[in-house]
Amino acid sequence: MHFRLVDQVLECTPDRAVTVKNVTLAEEYLQDHFPGFHVLPGVFMLEALVQSARLVLAARDLARAGGAPRRMVLGGVRALKYGMFVRPGESLRSEVTIDKETDDGSVIFRGSATVVRVSASASPDTAVSGRFTMRPVRMLQL
């Protein structure tokens, strides 16, 4: 099953992306997470960062080769920290930046996502932050 965790792209360059996910009660996964206290699951916060990173990689591949983007998957996560809950009616604003590229074609990102609340007076709180690696898909050799 595929979940769309980027509703709006605010910025996308070959090195950085800023995206927004608007969390609503219409999201199927919120019905069970948690009954009576609906919050965006932590793994979906990470997936929002991953989907934002894929936009950066696509922009990077287009700028470099003008061709189709490489198929990349999440290869690892380091120093991931969760902070505030993201509830229906709030938005998750994700920012990802390339930290480094490795010799095997992997790309290490720094990412963070903040909770944007309806109340304009509320300052954004960090929902998730950390480093993660996107690596090329490796085909199975028989």
Respond yes or no: is residue 2 known to be catalytic: no
From 16, 33, 70, 135, the catalytic residue: 33
Name the residue among 73, 66, 12 with its Cα closest to residue 47: 73
Name the residue among 113, 105, 102, 103 with its Cα closest to residue 50: 113
Residue reference for tokens 């994700």: 94
- How many CB atoms are closer than 10 A to CB 51? 20
107-116 and 125-136 strand pairing: antiparallel
The Cα 11–Cα 44 span in angstroms is 20
Q: Known catalytic residues?
A: 33
